[in-house]
A = this chain, B = another copy of it.
Amino acid sequence: MPRPLVPPDADFARRVRDSFDRQAFMRLLGARMTRVEPGLVEVELAWRQPLTQQHGFVHAGATSAIADTAGGYAAYTLFPAGCSVLTVEFKINLLAPARGERLVATGRVVRPGRTLTVCDLEVVALDGGAASPCARGLQTLIRLDRPDAPP
């Protein structure tokens, strides 16, 4: 059984939400951070026409953006204060068109590390009461020992 993930910074949730609030791009998309736990973050995106591709579904780029963000902050929950996080790379499978009222992206740490962290990414589409899988990914993050703020 996996050991519980213990954040070294007790104030991790506030730190994560502050950083997310500084992401202008998440505001442009209309994304909201709906869950912050040790090693797990959820980001929600309601369907809006400006987010769509040519068939009227949410663009794979928007789906990927919230998945990448959820994973990045999931890693960040386990960092000490005074560090920042960067995405090294991610891979995402778009399992089904992103239709429905809203998307929920979940990032989960599967391998915490001193330098590198690996996260599972999952996006589900919610429509009425039903949830259907929309995307699945795997992501590598790096911890930088410098403050998480603009230079």
Chain A residues in the interface with B (C-beta under 8 A): 19-20, 22-29, 49-56, 58-62, 64-66, 68-69, 72, 84, 86-97, 110-111, 115-116, 118, 120, 133, 136-138, 140, 142, 148-151
In the bound complex, do residue A52 and residue B68 qualify as a contact, i.e. CB atoms below 8 Å apart? no
State the main secondary structure of chain A at its contact with B: mixed
Looking across the interface, which residue of chain B has its beta carbon closest to that of A1?
B131
Q: Note all chain B residues with C-beta closer than 8 A to A150.
A: 54-56
Point out the residues of chain B lying under 8 angstroms from A20, CB to CB. Answer: 54
A149→B54 contact, CB < 8 A: yes
User: Can you identify 19 A-B contacts, CB atoms within 8 angstroms?
Assistant: A22-B54, A23-B53, A23-B54, A24-B52, A25-B61, A29-B61, A54-B84, A54-B148, A56-B150, A60-B87, A64-B64, A86-B94, A89-B140, A93-B111, A95-B118, A111-B133, A115-B142, A116-B142, A137-B138
